[in-house]
Structure 1
């Protein structure tokens, strides 16, 4: 009975677990850790959304089972959002489904469409569920570059020509988690044309499409003519409305994929609590100034963070979108890799970041820094990091001594 379960064997140790355990120990010891690691919004959900939740929850008739595909009002609200934001028309009955966040939707769609040994193409680095949702479902992953450029398109072509069997789907995620890169409609057109030609599905994740900073709203792949022939798109209320814990997301687009997802979900869940869905409908249909305020808050934090890092010589590219900065490890610490650098940053500067290795081996030269603390705390983090950098020779010596002590048991 000691044999490990088949699907669990396919999952590597969770890279973030070691850093999270170190963070918990430090906090238990009374240390003030500034947590810029997890992408968990720290701002409150807008009050009118909370009020609608309370109003709906006060109705006893709302306390029964909901519907796994989402209440009609919520699906219609998402269609209204797509019409306003992207000029895309969707059928609320056949082209939209509510999910328990975009993560659940991606994972259950993987279960719906994946046969053992099927190949999907996923960017590396990328959000873990993009690849591991399919690995859990019994598929295999072929990694492709993460940037929306010619290298991505060439890798897509190689994947089709050299994979046996032919890939089932390709994943695109822009604005990207973790890299914060954005794509334009010209890139999406290339993807749609290629995938229609080769009969490959496109799974697009736009969870961060409302968190952008350069004045150009990120587009939807569904804006491309013919995209609904091959593409389904996942979105979320988590970041746009500070509703991460509410677990409300959507899939929209290709009818066959939406139907497959709906069929799986009908067996495994009854949908989110109805009052949550009612409140989510109110968020999409109601005033959108709260979304702009959330966006502006992240932009202000981004500017403080990037300016401070640049002043100390850590030349991190300013993210054009998302709630993260994708930071190359400074040259003096590159030999450590992202996990050891993240641990060092926490131990010496009391700042937690996400190791890039957790998003794929191609991310190991970076760490992800979340814009999830207020400007005062970000400035404190910058002061701590600056002190750490100013003493990096001694820090590296101490780090090596710490590593040797941690491994002493090997020679006893």
Structure 2
């Protein structure tokens, strides 16, 4: 067998690679495990979505190759939804591209722009495809820490000039995973201006735009003047419509970038299953009816988890958006060791902050993927361990 590539061998290990085995062993022993690790759906998609895919799979055309063009109705519905939600128009065939989940679209985008020696500016901590997509091309991953004192907003002034000169992409993600931070409209305008000034493509991951609380409505970076010259934005059906396993989303924005990514994807996949795209149409059509209930579920969970972990002695701020709490570890214990100890001694799965980058050390993430009473119980168990 040949040796692994240096790019592969230098990938950081998964923070909790042993969690599935520990979890399985605990369950076998009769332990009631509460898994708050992954941001995975525990609710059903809209009924309209289920009916749409049931109908779609009976149609012969839905079993054909979708290719990158996909189902025209889905592209049209995306453009319609973006106009209704954010107030701007998109060309559904030049400025929109369906994706097999946003993860693959994010990871493939650097193939369009990045050569060895180039760089991409990524948040630390951050969703690991930002890091992986650049790292696997032998390029420079320019990690910028998200600091609590800056409300977890990436400060591009921290990028050294020599590295900035080689950078081609700037990744932002607001509302943010894992911190729950949100960005103001002024901040996003400043990001657009920075990318214009330094000839960067702004890559905005807006997967959590609809999971927002207390009346807050996160903006789209594409709604601001000049954005479409320098930006693309990713959206997902996963969190909004409880469709994490369906693997469907889209990227919108700069037409040159969109068409180039579409070309790259022809070498990697043949598009999103057409029946899933038909279900995506139904989901977006159901948005106004479905979203209030979805937000209410997560807001109730957020409030319960904040109350529970505060009572357990943690310093917790209620996020304005996302399905996560980002909590400092009071003991100073390394986050991986902390999460492993909590799992082994309490049966609660937490995600260690360092699993999303060295900038996440000292924190752990709680996914709001269980009912309020289970979130309270999880916090109580963690408190007993401490």
TM-score bin (small chain): over 0.9
Work out which of the residue numbers 345, 348, 354 in structure 2 matches 1:348: 345
- Residue of structure 1 equivalent to 2:384: 387
Q: What secondary structure is seen at the aligned counterpart in 2 of 1:174?
A: coil
Distance (whole Å) between structure 2 residues aligned to residue 90 and residue 48 of structure 1: 25
Report the equivalent of 2:79.
79
2:375 maps to 378
Q: CA deviation at 1:287?
A: 4.8
Question: How far 1:44 moved relative to its partner?
Answer: 1.0
Query: What's the CA shift string for 1:213-251, capped at 9, x where partnerless?
Result: 131101111011010100000110000000111100110
Q: What RMSD in Å do the two structures reach over aligned CA positions? A: 1.9
Correspondence for 1:366: 363
Tell me the equivalent position of 1:399: none
Give the secondary-structure state (helix, strand or coil) at the position aligned to 1:251: strand
Alignment of 1:4-403 (within 5 A): 4-146=4-146, 155-159=155-159, 161-163=161-163, 165-330=165-330, 333-334=331-332, 336-389=333-386
CA contact (8 A) 2:153 2:183 kept: no
Q: Which runs of 5+ in 2 are unaligned?
A: none
Residues of 2 paired with 1:288 and 1:76: CA distance?
Answer: 17
Superposition TM-score, scaled by structure 2 size: 0.95
For 1:373 and 1:27, locate their aligned partners in 2 and report how far apart those are by CA, in whole Å: 17
CA contact (8 A) 1:160 1:166 kept: no
Distance in 2 of aligned mates of 1:265 and 1:346: 39
1-structure distance, mates of 2:130, 2:155: 17
Checking the alignment, whether the CA contact within 8 Å between 2:211 and 2:295 is kept in structure 1 is yes
Q: How far has the Cα of 1:158 moved from its partner?
A: 4.6
**Contact 2:119–2:166 under 8 Å retained in 1:** yes
Q: Which has the larger radius of gyration?
A: 1
**Structure 1 residue 81 displacement after superposition:** 1.1
How far is 1:315 from its partner?
1.7
Alignment size in residue pairs: 386
2-structure distance, mates of 1:2, 1:63: 38
Decide whether the 8 Å contact of 2:173 with 2:204 is kept in 1.
yes
- Cα distance, 1:379 vs structure 2: 2.3
Structure 1 residue matching 2:355: 3-state secondary structure? helix
Offset of 1:61 from its aligned partner? 2.4
Q: 1: CA distance between counterparts of 2:353 and 2:293?
A: 29
Q: Which structure shows the higher helix fraction?
A: 1
Question: Structure 1: 5+ residue runs without aligned partners?
Answer: 390-412
Superposition TM-score, scaled by structure 1 size: 0.89
Q: Distance in 2 between matches of 1:270 and 1:199?
A: 31
